[in-house]
Structure 1
Amino acid sequence: MQSHEQQNEELLEMLSREGVLINVSVRYWRAAKKLKPEDLGLDLQVIASDLISLGHKKLLKKDALRPFSLIESRAHALIESNTFPFLGGLGHFLPNAKLEEVTSQLDSLEREFTEARDAFIERYADVREEALREWANVAAGLVDDPEQLLGTIHASFPRRDQMHDRFGFSTYLFQVAAPHELSLELVTAGDQLAMARARSQAAAKAAEKIREGAEGFITDCVASLRQQTAQLCDEMLKSMQTGTSGVHQRTLNRLVRFIDQFKAMNFIGDRQMEEQLDRVRREFLGQSAEEYRDDAFARQRLQSGLQDLAKTATDLAHQDSRDLVGQFGKMGQRRFHLAA
């Protein structure tokens, strides 16, 4: 009989084949400087630091950096909508079926980011001078010593030749794997044995944690896709009931896109849920919204079909999925035997 440890090892092996961990880092100059008491003419000795937090001062109006914040938001939204959180947010698991699409869109966002960075740096001198003039206009009304505040503001702006390093857009892909050992850096002979033991213990502990987390992660992925199905059906039904014209084409198109997305994200092989979605596509998505609006009987069938799908998805989301998890782990064995 297969041990729990062996099953976790198989699950981890299948995860490494079915997708990667992805992380996106978007860095840009935030144009903010932490306030100090002296900036506002306050005495550091009389401020209760455990009660008062001065926050940050904005060096520029937020519109100046809006292109970067929008790109950052789009990048994170892209990752969130096409991945599963791995081990409590340690990483984002991206199924192979979505890899090309997501990395292509990230490449496009990186090009946008680079163009926005170059344009900002090109006009940086003018932006800085305009900001300093605006600060000069308001400083007198903020503090007793405006010159001191203006000096602090001026010193907070980096030089133009320093700006390039303040911006960066990077995509990182990692393989899902448990560490076997942690490599030794150059240490003294006396410390090497103790260091080797410590690193070996750390590697074993990390490997055990990742293996144990594999089953829970896959279970969560199954439940998440099923819950998303139920949520979408509920939202569609609400839209149909509250809308003035009943059924909109964009509502039907949303379900079409979701089914395609489900198939791409379904690296676990949840055939039961996928078959339900395929049935809905066959029975209800061959008609247009206009046809549904003109046919009360068809419209009622659509509503009943969505209600049934929502109930099925909710029931499946709360079912024990250990059999499905076990089948996922055995996929690796079957593929190995077929390859041999």
Structure 2
Amino acid sequence: MLPDTTLLDALTQRGVLINVSVRYWRACKKLNPEDLGLSRGQVDDRLISLGHKRLVPKESLQQLALFEGRAHALVEENTFPFLGGIAHYLPNAKLAEVNGKLKTIREDFQMEQEEFLEQYSDLRDAALNEWRTVAHGLVDDPARLLAVIDSAFPSAERMPRYFSFDVRTFQIAVPDVPQAQLIDIATQQELIEVRRQAAEEARREIGQSCQEFVTDCVATLREQTATLCSEMLQTIDGTKSVHQKTLNRLVRFIDHFRELNFAQDSEMEEQLDRVRKELLVRTAGEYRDSDFARAQLVNGLTTLRDRASDMAKADIAQLVDGFGKLGTRKFALAA
């Protein structure tokens, strides 16, 4: 077993942690019984849920929601969840691509944000008019409900603070021990000892987490390989033919695998390289025109699927140890 910090060092060299936070005004208001002129005793929580109600039509925020979804989908597709999902690990090979695409999405988001803010006053007035019509047919005291709805709309001046599109990249490190000269002499040794123990415990936990993380990442990519092969085989069997779109999925996956393969899983990469050389030298038309070639494709995908599935379940401790040897940083805790 490698020292705890070597895996952390290797991960630091091969990628970064990334976190994307997208915020925009959700335009929702949770109604209470009092808002409808009712007492809480008149509403049975087991049967009635007032819930969150939209203040403006859904389509008003649809584009902002779309850009938020694209940003998170991009991160999910090109990273691995790290430490329970508090951030995502982004391999260096994907860094420029992901940052570039996130920049484009952020620019689109900000343009949509500006358009929304320009229209906000008119949108607010139109929404309140709609609520005024609805309120008269909904409750006995529409003025009370309208006052609640009206107060839920931020002023135009405050609205920009509800929007942000933040991308943060960072690296992890174990806690450091405080400098002795910054601590009161009376508590110096006691506090240093407490911090030392905390740092050592954090190092052990991070080391264990890194071990599990690298193992899971390797297994995940192998499982994805098996899944892709299964889906391609199902498509070929279902259509009784071979389409270029199906072959292109494999081409893109092999390239994607290579970029995400920060742990240097050479065994799986060799399997994919072999498939590229043996199965992707023909076009879909050539496979359709030859029963023999099509059988070779099916056999090759079946072999790769079974091999990848077995490899996903195999012990990869040796691979993880080999990856950890890339680590060079040393953590020194003050005595």
The residue that corresponds to 2:221 in the other structure is 225
**Cross-structure match for 1:213:** 209
Out of 145, 148, 155, the position equivalent to 1:152 is: 148
1:170 to 142, 166, 185: 166
Conserved 8 A contact 1:139-1:146: yes
Task: Give yes or no for contact 1:25–1:168 (8 Å, CA) kept in 2.
Answer: yes
Q: Secondary structure at the match of 1:235?
A: helix
Query: Which amino acid is 2:107 matched to?
Result: R
Partner of 2:331: none
SS at match of 1:170: strand
**Taking structure 1 as the reference length, what is the TM-score of the superposition?**
0.90
* Matched AA of 1:172: R
Partner of 2:116: 120
Question: Are the aligned partners of 1:229 and 1:310 in contact in 2 as well (CA < 8 Å)?
Answer: yes
Does 112-121 or 208-217 show the bigger shift?
A: 208-217
8 Å CA contact retained: 1:16, 1:177: no
CA distance in 1, matches of 2:30, 2:293: 62
Residue aligning to 2:293: 298
Alignment of 1:1-340 (within 5 A): 4=1, 6-45=2-41, 47=43, 53-181=49-177, 199-243=195-239, 246-332=241-327
Distance 1:146 1:88 in 2: 47
Change beyond 3 A, Cα 1:188–1:37: farther
Closer/same/farther in 2, CA of residues 169 and 181 from structure 1, 3 Å limit: farther
Identical positions, percent: 50
Aligned-residue offset at 1:23? 0.3
Q: Which amino acid aligns with 2:321?
A: G
Amino acid of the residue matched to residue 325 of structure 2? K
Task: Calculate the aligned-residue CA RMSD, in Å.
Answer: 2.4
Higher relative contact order (Cα pairs below 8 Å, separated by 6+ residues): 2
C-alpha distance in 1, partners of 2:178/2:108? Answer: 38
Gap change, CA 1:289 and 1:35, over 3 Å in 2: same
Q: How many residues align?
A: 327
Q: Which amino acid aligns with 2:63?
A: P
- SS of match in other structure, 1:159: coil
* Letter in structure 1 aligned against 2:21: S
> Aligned partners of 1:295, 1:54: CA distance in 2, in Å?
63
SS class of match (1:169): strand
- What are the superposed Cα offsets for residues 28-50 of structure 1, whole Å, 9 maximum, x if unpaired? 00001121111122203555668
Rounded to whole Å, the distance in 2 between the matches of 1:191 and 1:45 is 56
- Structure 2, unaligned runs of 5 or more: 329-335
Asked if the contact 1:180/1:204 (under 8 Å) is kept, the reply is no
Give the residue type in structure 2 aligned to 1:272: E
**Cα 1:188/1:45, change in 2 over 3 Å:** farther
CA distance in 2, matches of 1:187, 1:109: 47
Secondary structure, in 3 states, of the residue corresponding to 1:123?
A: helix
SS in 1 for 2:249: helix
DSSP 3-state at the match of 1:280: helix
Structure 1 unmatched ranges of 5 or more:
334-340
**Structure 1 residues 182 and 207: CA distance shift in structure 2, 3 A:** farther
Task: Confirm or deny: 8 A CA contact 1:15 1:176 kept in the other structure.
Answer: no
- Which range is displaced more, 81-90 or 315-324? 81-90
